Amino acid sequence: MDTKGTIERLKDQGIQTIRVQYPDQFGVPRGKDIPIDFFGDALEEGVQFCVSIFSLDLASNPAVGTGVGDEVAYADMRAVPDISTLRPVPWLPNTMMVHSDLYVRGKRLEISPRQVLKKIIDRYQARGMEPVIGTELEFYLLENRDGQFHTYVNRMGMCYTSGPLIDRRGVLFEIRQAMEQMGCTIPAYNYEFYASQYEINLLHQPALEAADTAFSFKQAVKEIALKHGLLATFMAKPRNDGGGSGLHTHLSIRDTNTGKNLFEDPKAEHGLSQLALWFIGGQLAHARSMTAITDPTVNSYKRHVLGSFAPVYVIWGLDNRTTYVRIPTERGKATRVENRAADAAANVYLTYAAILAAGLDGIDRQLDPGPPFEGDAYALLDISKDPVLPQDLGEALAAFEADEDLVAAMGKDFAKAYTAVKRLEFSRFNQYVTDWEFNEYSFHL
């Protein structure tokens, strides 16, 4: 790489700052802003960070037993920019961002979410296959008034509408413009079912590019909203009077040589290839254990309730929004599998990695998903008898740790660090006295 030439071209464009960043295990952007005169050093040598960032929870409490804390004497890691991901940051003047790969003592950091995904993509590529992903992300916009967060727009019943009635400040339009300037196409966006909830669709891309785009998108939404005095949250269920926010993941697999969609088979039942059915079988086989990744917070499990349009039962169906896996109606090149489990707070790299790992296991073991479920699962199935997703984060973590195949695919070191931090989070929650508990019990008992 011509580092000097790259720096000169950036200076000619008026660029003054480069944000060198990477996702932590929560999907939160971590990084440093580098003045352009020092970016050449970053390209050549990387940017130093403490690896123990992966041992902390969101409140900066250190978890015990992660393998990346005191066990490595709080060592440094290097973030090496992936120059192919360099993008403008339209909401900041003269600034670009770049995603990075992480190294410790000359070796790739195997617990890095981007590296976890890249390893699983490599396994597909070794079989001559390329996973392709499109994502629907939901979020809320909230406004701080008198120290309380209220809905930005308090309008129910406006689903699938757009314009000033549901976005008086034009925040969504600004987000779309920013993403287009970053080279990321948004094919559609709209107001969702609940007050102040929005959904934006991201274009189908190869899996790593899709993850980088979704990661950048969540960052753009939060920072642009903040410029308007709003809180954008991807929290699974931020309000008692609203629904949950999902990260619906649409997946297909292309033949590396021909570009053919390998999930398509117009002669087969439902238009789905045997490969697609095996992929679905893998989704169902690992659904419970994947939940620790796709639904990563204690709040996540308030979304998976009957009638919520979030999955409760481990089943698949054709164009059925009450199932765990839904097969949209489009066929041909658009044939795809939609995993509806993940909530919007999930780390996109880890979510894609887990879903792809499960699908590949289904392909390798030729897992039969059985016939598609028909009808309203919420009404027709019994939560005490039929297979359901974990009911809380602790149950999900136990299922993940017991799934040897998924742990091996994502990496034992990753699983060790991830579960240690998440168990600390779950323990802290279980010890916390909530407002609900005080209001429910204190005056009567």
Q: Is the pLDDT of residue 103 over 80?
A: yes
Answer yes or no: do 171 and 250 share one domain.
yes
Q: Answer whether residue 425 is part of any domain.
A: no
Lowest average pLDDT, out of 7-16, 24-33, 160-169, 390-399, goes to 160-169
Instruction: State the Cα–Cα distance between residues 357 and 282, nearest whole angstrom.
Output: 8
Instruction: State the Cα–Cα distance between residues 164 and 159, nearest whole angstrom.
Output: 14
Q: Answer whether residue 433 is part of any domain.
A: no
Q: Answer whether residue 434 is part of any domain.
A: no
Q: Is the pLDDT of residue 308 over 90?
A: no
245-262 pLDDT per residue, tens: 999 999 999 999 999 999
Q: So what's the pLDDT on residue 2?
A: 76
Q: So what's the pLDDT on residue 341?
A: 96
Mean pLDDT of all residues in the chain? 95
Residues of the chain above pLDDT 70, percent: 100
Answer yes or no: do 405 and 331 share one domain.
yes
20-61 pLDDT per residue, tens: 999 999 999 999 999 999 999 999 999 999 999 999 999 999
Q: So what's the pLDDT on residue 241?
A: 86
Q: Contact 387/313 with Cβ under 8 angstroms? A: yes
Answer yes or no: do 150 and 94 share one domain.
no
Q: What range does the domain containing 20 cover?
A: 3-111
Answer yes or no: do 155 and 51 share one domain.
no
Q: Answer whether residue 27 is part of any domain.
A: yes
Q: Contact 219/29 with Cβ under 8 angstroms? A: yes
Q: So what's the pLDDT on residue 364?
A: 97
Q: Answer whether residue 307 is part of any domain.
A: yes
CATH number for the domain harbouring residue 193: 3.30.590.10
Answer yes or no: do 150 and 100 share one domain.
no
Q: So what's the pLDDT on residue 146?
A: 85
Instruction: State the Cα–Cα distance between residues 104 and 382, nearest whole angstrom.
Output: 49
Residues facing residue 272 across a β-bridge: 264
Q: So what's the pLDDT on residue 32?
A: 97
Q: Answer whether residue 53 is part of any domain.
A: yes
Answer yes or no: do 183 and 220 share one domain.
yes
CB atoms within 10 A of CB 183: 11
What is the pTM (predicted TM-score) of this model?
0.96
Instruction: State the Cα–Cα distance between residues 63 and 130, nearest whole angstrom.
Output: 36
Answer yes or no: do 20 and 101 share one domain.
yes
Q: So what's the pLDDT on residue 191?
A: 87
Q: So what's the pLDDT on residue 89?
A: 97
> How large is the average pLDDT for residues 99-111?
95
Q: Answer whether residue 441 is part of any domain.
A: no
Answer yes or no: do 84 and 224 share one domain.
no
Answer yes or no: do 60 and 147 share one domain.
no
Q: Is the pLDDT of residue 157 over 80?
A: no
Answer yes or no: do 89 and 212 share one domain.
no
Q: Is the pLDDT of residue 431 over 90?
A: yes
Answer yes or no: do 157 and 78 share one domain.
no
> How large is the average pLDDT for residues 201-217?
96
Among the three residues 95, 111, 127, which one is the final residue of a domain in this structure? 111
pLDDT band for position 1 (cuts 50, 70, 90): low
Q: Contact 359/367 with Cβ under 8 angstroms? A: no
User: Which is it for strands 316-318 and 325-327: parallel, antiparallel or unpaired?
Assistant: parallel
Instruction: Please tell me the total count of domains within the chain.
Output: 2
Q: What angle do CA 193, 197, 199 make, to 5 degrees?
A: 85
**How distant, in Å, are the alpha carbons of 6, 97, 142, 332 from that of 226?**
32, 18, 10, 41
Amino acid at 261: N
Amino acid at 194: Y
Among the three residues 58, 87, 111, which one is the final residue of a domain in this structure? 111
Answer yes or no: do 99 and 185 share one domain.
no
More confident call, 159 vs 401 = 401
368-409 pLDDT per residue, tens: 999 999 999 999 999 999 999 999 999 999 999 999 999 999
Q: Answer whether residue 98 is part of any domain.
A: yes
CATH number for the domain harbouring residue 77: 3.10.20.70
Among the three residues 76, 92, 111, which one is the final residue of a domain in this structure? 111
